[in-house]
């Protein structure tokens, strides 16, 4: 499984890369603006993005702002041309850029994906919330399909009547198994989303579809909120997980590991320690 770090903070990117586990970066315009603003005019947005692309060992996903196919294609080409010389760049295109259901723009993300892909520009189809959307993104030629697991968990919990900040935190793990087990006895419509039981289930269904038809599109498990969720998508065989800095930190932490280190260091005998002080 490849790991992308989901951030615009260059210090976090540098640190995570130094750990030897980062394969790419995902970010968005608001995060980049926030990071640049913190520098108080010491660096321009273009310079900041250039630096991120330079130091990242794999693709950096950069997002368009347009809402029509023509705008997204134009902006995607501009971003790619501007930053590709500094490293590996992918263009984030929303799978459906419509601001309301069933309007004339809902397929423009797919149109833009096909156009850019045909020109050899890798597209990260983003804001995927359903397996059906992922299927269409792959058929349109997307290099990556970003499935927003954490947002689907939130959506299902809210449908169940739970409140963010009161009944669950943003980083809370969502266990869908109880809903599966009482499938026959409870109102399951509030416990799933069109047959999808959780964010991890969303990822599993997309992977199954892609495997069925041999799509080359890589699935990115996005909106990952905690280490357990990261582990579960890894167990599915996910191609890529894009993780916040704190989730990557949490993956290496375990109370028994700390306990073991304390035990090991206290057990070191002087003659063994002396081996490291002699040439």
pLDDT digits over 235-268, tens only?
Answer: 999 999 999 999 999 999 999 999 999 888 887 8
Q: In whole angstroms, what is the distance from residue 224 CA to residue 5 CA?
A: 11
pLDDT at 223: 97
pLDDT digits over 49-97, tens only?
Answer: 999 999 999 999 999 999 999 999 999 999 999 999 999 999 999 999 9
pLDDT at 279: 61
Q: In whole angstroms, what is the distance from residue 78 CA to residue 25 CA?
A: 19
pLDDT at 142: 98
Active site residues: 92
Say what the pTM is: 0.94
Among candidate residues 28, 239, 217, the one with its CA nearest the CA of residue 114: 217
Cβ 142 vs Cβ 127: under 8 Å: no
Q: DSSP letters along 98-118, please?
A: -SSTT-TTTTHHHHHHHHHHH
- 188 membership: H or E segment, kind and range: none
Domains and CATH numbers, the chain: 2-277 (3.20.20.70)
Among candidate residues 137, 210, 149, 141, the one with its CA nearest the CA of residue 174: 149
Question: Residue 184 pLDDT > 60, yes or no?
Answer: no
């Amino acid at each position: 499984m490849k790991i992308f770090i989901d951030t615009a903070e260059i210090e976090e990117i540098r640190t995570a890369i130094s750990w030897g586990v980062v394969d790419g970066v995902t970010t968005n315009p608001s995060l980049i603006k926030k990071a640049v603003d913190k520098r108080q005019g010491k660096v321009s947005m273009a310079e900041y993005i250039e630096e991120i692309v330079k130091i990242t060992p794999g693709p950096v996903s950069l997002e368009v702002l347009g809402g029509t196919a023509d705008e997204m294609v134009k902006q995607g080409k501009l971003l790619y041309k501007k930053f590709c010389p500094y490293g590996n760049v992918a263009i984030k295109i929303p799978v459906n850029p419509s601001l309301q259901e069933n309007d004339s723009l809902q397929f423009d993300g797919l149109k833009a994906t096909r156009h850019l892909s045909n020109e050899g520009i890798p597209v990260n189809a983003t804001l995927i919330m359903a397996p059906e959307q992922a299927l269409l993104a792959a058929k349109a030629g997307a290099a990556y399909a970003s499935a927003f697991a954490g947002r689907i968990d939130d959506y299902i919990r809210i449908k169940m009547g739970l409140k963010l900040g009161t009944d669950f935190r943003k980083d809370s793990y969502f266990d869908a198994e109880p809903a599966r087990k009482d499938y026959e006895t409870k109102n399951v419509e509030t416990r799933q989303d069109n047959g999808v039981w959780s964010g991890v289930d969303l990822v599993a269904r997309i992977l199954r579809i892609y495997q069925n038809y041999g799509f080359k599109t890589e699935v990115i498990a996005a909106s990952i909120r905690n280490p357990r969720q990261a582990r579960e998508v890894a167990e599915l065989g996910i191609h890529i997980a894009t993780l916040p800095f704190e989730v990557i930190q949490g993956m290496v932490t375990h109370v028994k590991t700390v306990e073991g280190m304390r035990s090991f260091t206290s057990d070191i005998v002087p003659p063994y320690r002396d081996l490291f002080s002699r040439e």
